[in-house]
Amino acid sequence: MAVAHAGDVAGHGHSHGPVRSEPRSPWLHGSWLRAIWVSFLFAFIAIGVSAFIRYLLGFPLHGAEMQEVAATFGLTFWAIGFTVGIGCFDYWWGYIIGSPNWVQEDHSAHGAYSWRDYFKVNTDHKVIGIQYLVLTFIFFMIGGALAEGVRAELASPGTQYFSPGTYNGLFSAHATLMIFLFVIPSFAGIANFVVPLMLGAQDMAFPRLNALSFWLLLPGGLIFLASFAVGPFAAGWTNYAPLSVHAPIGDTFFTIGVQFAGASSIATAVNFLVTIVTMRAPGMSFWRMPLLVWANLATSSLVVLGTPFIAGSQFMVLYDRVMHTHFFDPAAGGNVILYQHIFWFYSHPAVYIMMLPGFGIISEIISIHSRKPIFGYRLIAFSTVAIGVLGFTVWAHHMFVSGMAPWLRIPMMATTMLIAVPTGIKIFSWVATLWDGVIHLTTAMLFALGFIFTFVIGGLSGIFLAVLPVDINVSDTYFVVAHIHYVLFGGSVFTIYAGLYHWFPKMTGRMYDERLGRLHFWLTFVAFNATFMPMHWLGLQGMPRRVADYDPRFGTLNFIISIFAFVLGASTLVFLYNVIHSWARGPIAPANPWRALTLEWQVSSPPPIFNFDEPPQVVGGPYEYGVPGARHAIVTVHEPDPQFTGVAPATAVAGSTPQREALLTAMKHILVVANQTVAGDALIDALRQRAGAEPVRVTVICPQNDPGGDWVTDDRQVAQATRERLDQTLARLHEAGVEATGEVVDRDPYTAVMDQVESSDPPAEIIISTLPQTRSGWLRRDLVERVRHDAKIPVEHVVVDVHSNPAAGA
Amino acid sequence: MSAIKVGIVAIIVGAIGTVAILVTPSWFPVAAAVQAHRQDDLYLALMIMSSFIMAVVTVFLVYSVWRWRASPDDMRDGPPIHGNTTLEIIWTVVPTIIVIAFAVAGGVVLVKNEQTTSQELVVKVTGEQFEWTFKYPNGVVTHELVLEKGRPTEFAITSLLHDVIHSFYVPQFRVKADAVPGIMNYTYATPTRVGKYVLICTELCGAGHSLMRAPVQVMEPADFTQWLATQKSEQSKGGA
C-alpha cells in the first residue's frame, strides 16, 4: 500500500482542474457491473445486426454457418464491450464528445488506496503490474489443471477419461493459456511494475493504454475458456489449416481469443518501447540500463513486429471458416503450407518473447545475489539484441518435415544453429558471474540456478532439433514435448518464479517465507525434471505427441511421469500459500532488502504512488558491486514537512477545572469528522479560518469502519496509522492556537457523528472531511446529506485530495 | 581450486557421461534403414558434445555455489570483475565452431539420406482421416506398407484433397514427411533389416490421430517380389 508523503500532494509537478464527477450508480460508471451489461449488450447488437444482414441477403438464420457468424461477431463485440464497460475508454470518450464533465487528468484512477482499486481500471503501472501477475497466475493454475487432465489420460495406455475431441481440447487449451495468458503477460506484469522504477520514471509513457492492455487480456482468456462450453478448440495451439478450417465452432473461439491476447501484448510492447527510449532518468545511457530493461526493449520489438502475423494467420483461418475464402484450400487454388509460414513467423519469435525477459530477470538476480557485477554486461546486451534479430530468421525449423521448399531447410538449419551462440554466451556469463562471488542462496537465487541447469538442457535439445536429420526423426514426438517444456518451464517459469520472489518485497512491502520458498523450489525442481526428462527417451522411441493412446510398452514410464506431473502441480500450492500468507501477514520489508543498486530499490517498499519525488540522476552502471563508493544513481527524497515529524499528544487548556469548563462552554464546539483526510491541508485551513473568526474548540473523530457498516476493521496497524495522523493534526491545530481533542472511534461514520450530536456535549457545527467524489466511500453512501438531514445543525463538507496511507472505509 | 582445475574436473565428468551414453543399450528403436544408422551416429555425436557442455556448466555452477556460498549476515561484496575479453572471445568462437560443424554434418547426412537412384522403388502414400493407403508401381493398393530389404525406396506422400495434414513416420527408419493435401512430399529410406515395424501418424489430424497407424514389413528381395506379384493377381481378380 502507499506510503504517506507530505510532498506528494503537489509532488508530481503539476496542478489539477476541478474533480470530474461520476455517476453515482455502479451500473453507470466504469465498473464490473457496467462491464457485464455493456459487453452482453454489444454482443447482442452485433449478433442481431449480422443476423439481420443475413436475413436481408436471404441466408438461413440457423445452422452451422449462422453459428459461426454469431460466434465471430458476438465474441468480438462482447470482448470490446467488456473493455468499454469496465471503463478503459471513458477518458478518451469524454474528450471526443466534448463532455462538460471531462477533466484533464486528475489522477483519480491512479494508484492503489485500497484492495478494491486492483479490480478497477487503474493507470498506475504498479497496480497494473500486480493485476497482470495475479490474473496470469490464475490462468497458470487453469492451464496446469488442463495439463493434469492430459497426464491423467496418459497415465495408462488406451483411452480412459476423455472423448478424443475433449482430450485434444485439453492440450490445445493448455498450451494456448500457458503461452498467451501466462508466460507472455506474466513477463509484461513484472516489467510493468519494475521497468519504470528501474528507469527512474514516474510511470509508463501511456498509463491509460497500459490499463487497456491489461483489460484486453481478460476477455481474451475468457473466450478461450468459453470454448469448452461449445466443444473446445482442438487443433492444437498451432491451429494448422486445414484441420482448423474444418473444425467445429470452438476453433472460432480460438481465432478470436488470439486477437485480444495479441492486441493486449502489442499495446504493452508499444508502451515499453516508448518508455524505455524516452523516459530514462538523466544520465541513464543505454549502457547504464539494467539488463532487464535491455531484455524488455528487445522483447517489445519482437512483439510489435511479430504478433501481427499470428493475428493475420488466425484471421485467414477465420475467413476460410466463416466467409468461405480459400486461403488454405488446395482444391480452390489455396496453399496449405502458407498457414504454417505465417504462423511460425510469429510463433518462433514468440518463444524468444517468452525467454528474453526471463534472461533479463536472471541477470538481475544473479548479479545482486552474488554481489558481483554481471560478467560481460555489453556482450549480454548484444546477445539479447542478436537473439531478437536472429529470431526472425529461423521460423521454418518448425516446418522441416512440412513439405515446404526443400532448399529452405539448409539455411534455416544454419540460422537455428547460430542462435545457440548468443544464448550460450549468456549462460557462460551467468556462471562466470557466480564464480568468486558472495553467493546468497535466497529463493530467487535458487530458481535462477535451477533455471541455468534446466535451460542448458533445453538449449542442448534445441541444438539436436536444429540438426535436420535428427529433427526429421523426432519431430512431433515426445522429444519435442520434452524440449519445449525444458525451455518454457525450466526456462520461462523458473525465471518468473525467481522474479516474483526477488521483487515480492518491493511489490507488497512484505517479506515472503524463505523456508517455504526453498521447499517450493526443491519440489518444483525435482518434480519438473522427473516429469520431463524421460520424455526425451519416449520421443526417441517413437511415441508421438498429441495422442491419448500409445504403444503399451511405454505404459510404466508414462505412469511414473504422470505421478510426478501431479507432484509438480501440487508444488504450485506451496507457492500460492507463501504468497497469500506473506502478503497478508509477512514481516514488513525494508526498502532494499537485497542491498541492490538499481533504482527500484532506492524507494520504499512498496514505492510511493508517483515513485520518485524528482527524477533521479544516474551516475554509473547498475551492477557496480565490489567497487568502493560506486553509485548507480542519486535519488532525492523530499523531506516531509517538519511540522509532521514527531507525535504530539492531544492538547489541553491550562488552568483550573471550573475555569476550564466555563471557557470550554463559551467556545463554539465544532465536530470534525475525518478519517483518511484528517491531516489534510484543506481541513486544517478551514479550522484555522473558524478560529480566526471566534474562539472554537474542536473535537475530531476518526471513524474507522466502513460507512455501509458492511465490515469491521480490527487492524491495529491501520488504527495506529490513523492515530498518528490524528495526533499530527491536533499538534498543528494547537500551534495555530486552536483548542482540539480527538479520538479514533471504532464505528462507522454516521453512527459516530450521531453519537456526538446526541451526547451531553453536542457540537454547534459539523465539518465532514472526505476524499474527492470519485474515491470517497463516505460520499458514495451519501454521508454528508444524511447527517445534514438528521443532525439539524450546520454541516460543512470539505474535500481533501491527499495521498495517504489508506484505512478502512473512507 | 583454480578455474583450470575445475575445468579439468568438468572434462572428466563429461567423459564419464560420454561413457555412460555409449554403453546405454537402448536409446533408439532398432535401426532398420541406412538412414537410421546415419541419424543414430549423428545423434550420438550430439549427445557426447552435450555431455561435455552440460558437465562444464554444471560443474562450474555447483563448484561456485559450494565454494562461495555466504551466510545471510555476510555483508561483503564480491570482487568487481566486469568481464574477461579472452574468455568471452573463446566462448563465442568455440560454440560457433561446434554448431557450424554439426550443421555441416547434418547437411551432409541429409543429402546422403535423400539421394535418389534409378533402381528406386516408388511407393505412393496417401493419408486420410484416419488411414494410410499405399500404391505400388504395378498398381497394387494396400493398407500395409511392405518393402524390400536393400532397395532404395522413395515415398511420394500426400493427403486427400479435402482432408487434413497427416505425417508419415516410421521410427525404425528415422524418416518423416508430412502428408499435405494438394502437394506431393517426399522422403527416402533404404531398409536394411527384415522385420515388422510401424508407421505412425505424427501430425494432429483430428479425433482419430492417436490410432492412425499402419503396419510396415521389410522382406527379403525374393519374398518381396513374390508378395507384390501375389497382391497384383489378387487385386486383378477383384479381391484385395
pTM of the model: 0.83
The yes-or-no verdict on residue A654 having pLDDT over 60 is: no
pLDDT computed for residue A729 by the predictor: 82
Four-CA torsion A140, A143, A148, A153, nearest 10 degrees: -170
Q: What is the mean pLDDT of residues A492-508?
A: 97
Compare all CA atoms of chain A with the CA of B102 and give the residue at the minimum distance.
Answer: A467
Nearest CA in chain A to B81: A373
Main-chain dihedrals φ then ψ at residue A161, nearest 5 degrees? -115, -30
Chain-chain contact of B69 with A439 (C-beta, under 8 angstroms): yes
The pLDDT score that the predictor gives to residue A733 is: 82
Whole-angstrom distance, CA of residue B110 vs CA of residue B36? 11
Instruction: Quote the ipTM score.
Output: 0.96
Contact criterion met (CB < 8 Å) for B68 and A434: yes
pLDDT at position A650 is 32
Which phi and psi angles does A699 have, rounded to 5°? -110, 125
What digits encode the pLDDT tens for the residues B40-77? 999 999 999 999 999 999 999 999 999 999 998 898 99
Q: Nine-digit cell at A550?
A: 500409445
| Average pLDDT estimate for A766-789 | 83
Which tens digit of pLDDT belongs to each residue from A46-79? 999 999 999 999 999 999 999 999 999 999 999 9
- Per-residue pLDDT tens digits for B98-119: 999 999 999 999 999 999 887 7
| DSSP assignments along A527-543, one per residue | HHHHHHHHHHHHHHTTP
Mean pLDDT of chain A: 89
Across the interface, of A331, A420, A436, the residue whose CB is closest to B162 is: A331
Closest in B42, B164, B171 to A243, CB measured: B164
> In the block, which residue shows the cell 551466510?
B71
Say whether B81 and A452 touch across the interface (CB within 8 A): no
Q: What pLDDT does residue A646 have? A: 41
Give percent of chain A above pLDDT 90.
70
Residue type, A354: M
- Distance from the Cα of A614 to chain B's closest Cα (Å) equals 29
Dist CA A566 CA A570 (whole Å): 6
Element containing residue A623 per DSSP (H, E): none
Query: Which of B64, B73, B111, B161 is best to mutate for the A interface (most A CBs within 10 A)?
Result: B64
The closest CB to that of B80, out of A418, A537, A625, belongs to A625
Top pLDDT among A75 and A750 is at A75
**Record: contact A472-B174, CB cut-off 8 A:** yes
Cα-atom radius of gyration of chain A, to the nearest Å? 30
B184, B197, B202, B211: best mutation site toward chain A, by most A Cβ within 10 Å? B202
Which of B24, B61, B115, B184 best probes binding to A when mutated, by most A CB atoms within 10 angstroms? B61
Residue the block writes with cell 526477488: A502
CB pair distance less than 8 Å for B176 and A472: yes
Residue located via cell numbers 436481408: A56
**Residue with cell string 551416429:** B41
* A431 interface with B at CB cutoff 8 Å: yes
Confidence of residue A651 (pLDDT cuts 50, 70, 90): very low
Record the cell numbers describing residue A299, joined without a space.
522483447
Give the distance from residue A324's alpha carbon to the nearest chain B alpha carbon, in angstroms. Answer: 14
pLDDT number for residue A803 = 52
Extract the C-alpha cell encoding A607: 514505492
Q: Please enumerate in sequence order all residues whose Cβ is within 8 A of that of A787, keeping only pairs 6 or more positions apart, or say none.
A: A750, A753, A754, A766, A768, A795
Asked whether B135 and B124 are in contact (CB, 8 A), the reply is: yes
| 8 A C-beta contact, residue A735 and residue A643 | yes
Amino acid type, A800: V
Minimum CA–CA partner of B111 in chain A: A469
Subunit contact A330:B181, Cβ cutoff 8 A? yes
Distance in Å, alpha carbon of B224 to nearest chain A alpha carbon: 26
What the block records as the C-alpha cell of A641 is 514537512
Chain A residues near residue B7 by CB distance under 8 angstroms: none
> Which chain A residue is nearest to residue B42, measuring alpha carbons?
A470
In sequence order, which residues have a C-beta less than 8 Å from that of residue A407 and are 6 or more positions away? none
DSSP assignments along A105-166, one per residue:
---TT-S-SSGGGGGS----HHHHHHHHHHHHHHHHHHHHHHHHHHHHHHTSSS--SS-HHH
A544: helix, strand or coil: strand
Chain B, 61 to 120: residues with Cβ < 8 Å from chain A are: 61, 64-65, 68-70, 72, 74-84, 87-88, 91-92, 95-96, 99-100, 102-103, 105-107, 109-110, 113
- The DSSP output letter for A182 is I
> Is pLDDT of A584 > 80?
yes
Decide if A627 touches B, using CB distance below 8 A.
yes
Per mean pLDDT, which range of A363-367, A536-540, A800-804 is the poorest? A800-804
Read off the amino acid at residue B74. D
- Residues forming a β-bridge with B185: B157
